[in-house]
Amino acid sequence: MSQLPRPAHTRRLRVAAVAAALLGLLLAPAAVPSAAAPRLPAGPGSAPTVAAVASGGTAALTGYAIRSTAEVPDTAAAVSTPGYATTGWHRAGPRSTVLAALVADGTHPDPFYSTDQQRIPRRDFADPWWYRSDFTLPDTAERTSLDFSGVISAADVYVNGRQVASAAEVAGVYTRHELDITDLVRAGTNTVAFRIQPNDPRKHLTLGWLDWLQPPPDANMGIVRDVLVRRRGPVSLHDAHVVTGLDVSSPGSGPAELTVKARVRNDSQEAATATVTAAISGTGIVLREDVTLRARETRTLVFAPDRHRQLRLQRPALWWPAGMGPQNLYGLHLTATVAGSRSDSVRHPFGIRDVKAPLDSAGARRYTINGRPLLIRGAGWSADELLRWDTTAAEDRIKAALDAGLNTLRLEGHIEPDEFFDLADRHGILLLPGWECCDKWEGQVNPTGTGEKWNAADRLTARASMAAEAARLRDHPSVLSFLIGSDFAPDAQTERDYLDALRAADWPTPVVPAASAVTTALSGPSGMRMTGPYDWVPPSYWYDKREGGATGFNSETSAGPSIPTLDTLRRTLSPAELETLWESPSAPQYHRSPSRTFNTLKLFNDALAHRYGAPRSLRDYVAKAQLGQYENVRAQFEAYARNATDSTDPSTGLVYWMFNSGWTSLHWQLVDRYLDQGGAYYGAKKANEPLHIQYSYDDRTVAVINRRPDAVAGLTARVTLFGTDGTSLYDRTVRGLRVGGDGARTTAATVPAVVAASDGPDSTYLARLTLTDSAGREVSRNVYWLSTRPDVLDYDATDWYHTPTTTYGDLTGLNSLAAATVTATARTTRHAGSLSTTTVTIRNTSSGNTPALLTDLHLVDGRDAPLLPVRWNDNQISLWPGESAVLTAHHRTADPADGALRVRISGWNTPATHITPSSP
């Protein structure tokens, strides 16, 4: 999503060369998952480890020596010859942009702090850069090839002094390339060199950063996926995958059929007969077939259930999203042998699940999985700004998303490497990948974007990109759909090309023409809308069934800014920037967005000052921001959950914009760069509880939402309203509630429109909602701070990114809350490995009637720095005098060198204190 128009340019490429090369890419092999690679090398003095490729094996290049071509006078033949001296070159990891390497070796400063990124000269990246790596072979008895994607933006490729591909052929970050280098390699050391062309997302089908963050000065030029060196026998296997069919007439329990497909290719100059064996782990299925091929012939091999009855599974182990069932995975192992010797093999996991997404009566796309309804509770995913891959960091973020109750992540471009999709499969998070908006990808169709118009070479690159990503992603059960358009749908020719490529790949899930509300000739209505908002609106906004309110499927929506915790702010901004943050509410903020629409926090800050009172200090500003973000994010997810079962215009999905940021940001994030968690995150986590009680801002109803599979009965709901002085204004208990499963709701009560508040007609008051089960255990607690004066929206003045507020609710009464006293005890238990659990029992010991509002717990070290990441069962809770709660944190074991682990407790009206956990 972007609204930054720039002048158009014309791309000049050798169309004929691109056409010849990229048509072949439509049959490129599927990606093979590789082991996690180190993010970056040690520094400029170290040399990349040489990749050793065993007989019949596959190995990724382990790193590169890199340098600007402006500093290398030697020829490409010399640079790509074994033994060439790279003294003075920089060292890069196996997946690295130029800037990522230069930051790692200290050439350039950390671009994530303050405005240090502006100190990095863009002229350093105006010329192509060499990426040079060596690999060794024990012999030349087998065929050898280079297999890769992830080049930004394009590259000339050389092996042992000879050019094997041009930048016209190796163009686009997603296109996959298999280059046969058998005749060029030798026993011993071999060299591959890439001359990487500069990137410009306006001109190339790569990726950019739109209005998400300040773009990196190198525009991410480099190689960001593994370059694999493959060795095979005379017959090779390609495009191996499993097509699954599931009977959903009885949701979750129907039989399934499997079809195994692969292309078998004879790479030799003589006829050959290969025995192809397909084994599926967990089933006992082993199938064999002999395939006779002429020299250089390719044939598609199909193991189908009509010929192999064992491919019909009566009780398949299904893959489910987290919270709906287990994440069962099978494994496909395909082997080709020639004359009794292994020639090639392929191994990868797959899952059995059925995804459908028909349009409902209101035209909204409504997903089901394995026959069961699914409300999409999603958020937008961002890659790292420098495209550094870190498997542990990605897994931490996926776990945080699941912990916040999300079930889906949307990838608008920036389609991550194989390990990301493996993690999603394993943890049960659904994915919505697709192409990004507003740059070259929408150059043909987006009049407000920055992308240039396509030429014939671009069309081939786009089609090859779609074919490669479809083949790479199709067997991942976590992939829910592919969005072939974002803000705009592709034009008719491009849509046809994309759909043909997807169909050829046996794409198994719904294809969505755009994330916006469009209809195309081939795909029909998108069933989605992209109404925003992208900047501040009040919590009540989400309950109106108009604009971005809770109806249909909203693919991008949130109230915009997200101020991180004070700990993170101090790691992100300079002291002067921290002062500007709260003292100059209309000032441009470098860490918000490069967009002129979003480069300040004015709308957010105006609302904060009107509703909560002008900030008195940085700490006060951050505290008020956490309250505001908590109530707003919670309302967004709660409104969509409540309206999901409406008989007219129900909500079917939302994608919070966004889950995370690729750098240190004040913009569009539920979690910050360091995975610290503030009001936005805990608002989402509260709203998305499996069994949840909630208040509705529009009609004041109290509803119970049950996301568990089974119905729950014998529930008791209690609603109590309080003045800010602690006076009870209303109290009602409703017993014997029952609510169905899979997102069903029941209405427990309606709160009075007028409460007898003690401090005036426009006063602030508090609502405490509790839900207990049939045994009297509290299963959900939810506390709201409300105003008798509503926020008033001017819908007639709505623009593409927000709806103005003309009258603000009055929450300034929170400033008069008396100080609360809390006490706590804590205990930390170390587990095997490096994991620990800290359990905190916290109690409000105040003598009066004042609650401890939004009480936050942080694990910190001896310097009071947060221990991250941490997953709490609950946090930022509100307790009345005499009430207590037990909160549990799962985390990595603290490093003793950082000092004793402590629990920092603070809150809106609770002074900060620290306690030291005991040990068993």
What is residue 254's predicted lDDT score, i.e. its pLDDT? 85
Is the predicted pLDDT of residue 45 greater than 60, yes or no?
Answer: no
The one catalytic residue among 487, 535, 547, 638: 487
Averaged pLDDT, 760-767: 79
* Contacts of residue 475, Cβ cutoff 8 Å, sequence gap at least 6: 241, 242, 332, 348, 349, 350, 351
Averaged pLDDT, 497-513: 98
Is the predicted pLDDT of residue 40 greater than 70, yes or no?
Answer: no
Averaged pLDDT, 541-570: 97
User: Cis ω on the peptide bond leading into residue 528 (within 30° of 0)?
Assistant: no
What is residue 754's predicted lDDT score, i.e. its pLDDT? 72
Closest to 615 (Cα-Cα) out of 783, 812, 905, 819: 812
Closest to 475 (Cα-Cα) out of 224, 635, 241: 241
Q: What percent of the chain has pLDDT over 70?
A: 94
Could you give the CA distance from residue 829 to residue 659 in angstroms, rounded to a whole number? Answer: 30
Compute, in degrees rounded to 10, the torsion defined by CA atoms 104, 110, 116, 119: 0
Is the predicted pLDDT of residue 5 greater than 80, yes or no?
Answer: no
Q: What percent of the chain has pLDDT over 90?
A: 91
**Length of the chain as a residue count:** 920
Q: Report the DSSP beta bridge partners of residue 782.
A: 769
First vs last C-alpha separation in the chain: 51
SS3 for 293? Answer: strand
What single-letter DSSP state applies at residue 552? E
Q: Are 195 and 156 within 8 A, CB to CB?
A: yes
Could you give the CA distance from residue 656 to residue 815 in angstroms, rounded to a whole number? Answer: 30
What is residue 4's predicted lDDT score, i.e. its pLDDT? 35
Q: Report the DSSP beta bridge partners of residue 359.
A: 365
Is the predicted pLDDT of residue 30 greater than 90, yes or no?
Answer: no
| β pairing state of 764-772 and 778-787 | antiparallel
Averaged pLDDT, 220-226: 98
Q: Are 515 and 489 within 8 A, CB to CB?
A: no
Average pLDDT of the residues of the chain: 93
What is residue 833's predicted lDDT score, i.e. its pLDDT? 87
Q: Quickly state the pLDDT bin for 227 (edges 50, 70, 90).
A: very high
What is residue 255's predicted lDDT score, i.e. its pLDDT? 95
What is residue 28's predicted lDDT score, i.e. its pLDDT? 35
Q: Are 564 and 672 within 8 A, CB to CB?
A: yes
pLDDT in tens, 880-895: 999 999 999 999 999 9
pLDDT in tens, 770-817: 999 999 999 999 999 999 999 999 999 999 999 999 999 999 999 999
pLDDT in tens, 804-850: 999 999 999 999 999 999 999 999 999 988 999 999 999 999 998 99
* 442 carries an active-site annotation: no
For residue 495, what are its two tokens? 């849509």
Closest to 420 (Cα-Cα) out of 385, 388, 395: 395
Averaged pLDDT, 590-612: 97
What is residue 42's predicted lDDT score, i.e. its pLDDT? 33
Is the predicted pLDDT of residue 192 greater than 60, yes or no?
Answer: yes
Burial class from Cβ neighbours inside 10 Å (0-12, 13-18, 19+) for residue 392 reads exposed
Could you give the CA distance from residue 818 to residue 724 in angstroms, rounded to a whole number? Answer: 8
What is residue 581's predicted lDDT score, i.e. its pLDDT? 97
* pTM, full prediction: 0.94
Q: Quickly state the pLDDT bin for 910 (edges 50, 70, 90).
A: very high
Residue type, 860: V
What is residue 920's predicted lDDT score, i.e. its pLDDT? 79
What is residue 47's predicted lDDT score, i.e. its pLDDT? 53
The one catalytic residue among 556, 567, 631, 810: 556
Residue type, 897: A
- Sheet with 96-97, strands from edge to edge, namely 96-97, 222-223, 151-152
Averaged pLDDT, 113-140: 97
Averaged pLDDT, 562-571: 98
* 506 carries an active-site annotation: no
Could you give the CA distance from residue 110 to residue 237 in angstroms, rounded to a whole number? Answer: 44
Averaged pLDDT, 479-497: 98
What is residue 229's predicted lDDT score, i.e. its pLDDT? 98
What is residue 384's predicted lDDT score, i.e. its pLDDT? 98
Averaged pLDDT, 185-211: 97
What is residue 250's predicted lDDT score, i.e. its pLDDT? 84
pLDDT in tens, 702-745: 999 999 999 999 999 999 999 999 999 999 999 999 999 999 99
Residue type, 689: E
pLDDT in tens, 48-79: 679 999 989 999 999 999 999 999 999 999 99
Could you give the CA distance from residue 593 to residue 582 in angstroms, rounded to a whole number? Answer: 18
Q: How many CA atoms lie within 13 A of 728 on its CB side?
A: 8
Averaged pLDDT, 482-499: 98
Q: Quickly state the pLDDT bin for 753 (edges 50, 70, 90).
A: confident
| β pairing state of 155-159 and 90-92 | unpaired
What is residue 3's predicted lDDT score, i.e. its pLDDT? 41
